Amino acid sequence: MTIALKSFSLLAYGVKPQMLASTIATTSRPVVFRSSVFAAVRLLNTSSTEIKNGISTKLSENRPRRALFYVPGSDERKLHKSISVAADCIVYDLEDSVAASKKGSARQMIMDALEASEHGKAEKAVRINAVGSGLELDDLNVVLHTKRLQAIVIPKVQSAKDIQFVSRMIDSVAPESNRANIRLIASVESAMGIMNLKEIATADPRLDALIFAAEDYCADLGLVRTPSRLEMLFARQQIVTTASAFGLQSIDLVCVDYQNLDILKEECREGREFGFTGKQAIHPGQIDTIQEYFLPDPKDVERAVKIMDGFELYSKKGVGAFVVDGKMIDMPVIKWAQKVVAKAKAGGMEIPELDAQNANDGKNTKTK
């Protein structure tokens, strides 16, 4: 098995297929499934639970990731404490927070933590070491065996090959009953990663989200980190734009000044305005603030419900555009409303129940 897995790694980095015929025979799934058309289908069919090629094509909105909280895999106290945190996504870390001498023990500690706890509704993920580091195979050979694993965060993603390698490993190692449940989250941390964003975003249907890793990105480009964060504006907006184009979530940078609540709130507000769907967290004290900021505003939810009710009412009459509260509503606004309601539901918000006939009786809405 070890030889075969190493062959997968070589195949992902361009070794001729004929040299690895026996390895290729062990996987029945093509490397690349998603095209721009497939991504568009995902965007249009937001309620679909269809399985294609053994992989769920649900939109990532079905798994909210407002706060993506990192837990060092070698710290037993923090692993135990993570059971009680309320983050949407708990990421057990095997990469930067774990010393080289503790990688092996951290893998087993994370495996034990995954097997022993439920974490309520939190998604359970593991951040492996970077593909090409020489550590990723050992990471995946351990953590993929648990049926509790729901996502893998891949750090330092440079190209589609990194995503495709991990996806093939899932097909080879993970229990068959859990393969369709494991999502991939790509962390973009370099100039090359930003340049290859479209290739990365369309690499594999398991990919659910893009992360912007600010510190590594600034180090790669030699940027000077400033309180304004303007030096990262281009990269952050590239992440959001690409993620939105291909139906993925976008997770914003870590607030490294974790004891300063005002800075955290400022970064959350800015990230929401940019279009990010969530934010990374490194301290439990950051989670509640992040989760609150990345929920839709209740006023937006109320307006979105009005729009959806109006759409339901007038579409039955064959009417395309209509008016709500004095403003014209057409398909782009309806899509916005759908996303707002979906995010609100995923975040556990109470959705106002408006009767379509009463809410759109001509007082608030009329056809155009």
Lowest mean pLDDT among 8-12, 41-45, 112-116, 227-231: 41-45
Query: What pLDDT score does 107 carry?
Result: 97
Could you tell me the two tokens for 368? Answer: 């155009």
The pLDDT value recorded for residue 118 is 66
More confident position, 127 or 54 = 127
DSSP 3-state assignment of 323? strand
**Residues 339-356 pLDDT 10s:** 888 888 877 788 887 544
What span, in angstroms and rounded, lies between the C-alpha atoms of 18 and 21? 5
pLDDT of 86-104, one tens digit each?
A: 899 999 999 999 999 999 9
Q: How far apart are CA 269 and CA 272, in angstroms?
A: 5
The HSE-up count of residue 180 (CA atoms within 13 Å, CB side) is 11
* Tens-place pLDDT, residues 278-313: 999 999 999 999 999 998 888 888 888 988 888 888
pLDDT of residue 233: 97
The pLDDT of residue 60 is 54
User: What pLDDT, on a 0 to 100 scale, did the predictor assign at position 14?
Assistant: 45
Q: Which residues, 6 or more positions from 4, have their beta carbon under 8 angstroms from its beta carbon?
A: 22, 23, 26, 172
Q: Say which residues have a Cβ less than 8 Å from residue 303's Cβ, sequence separation at least 6.
A: 324, 325, 337
Give 183's pLDDT tier (boundaries 50, 70, 90).
Answer: very high
Per-residue pLDDT band for 73 (boundaries 50, 70, 90) equals very high
Closest CA relative to residue 343, chosen from 275, 287, 283: 275
Instruction: Compute the mean pLDDT over every residue in the chain, rounded to the nearest whole number.
Output: 82
CA–CA gap between residue 130 and residue 96 (Å, rounded):
10
pTM beyond cutoff 0.85? no
Active-site residue set:
330
pLDDT score at 119: 59
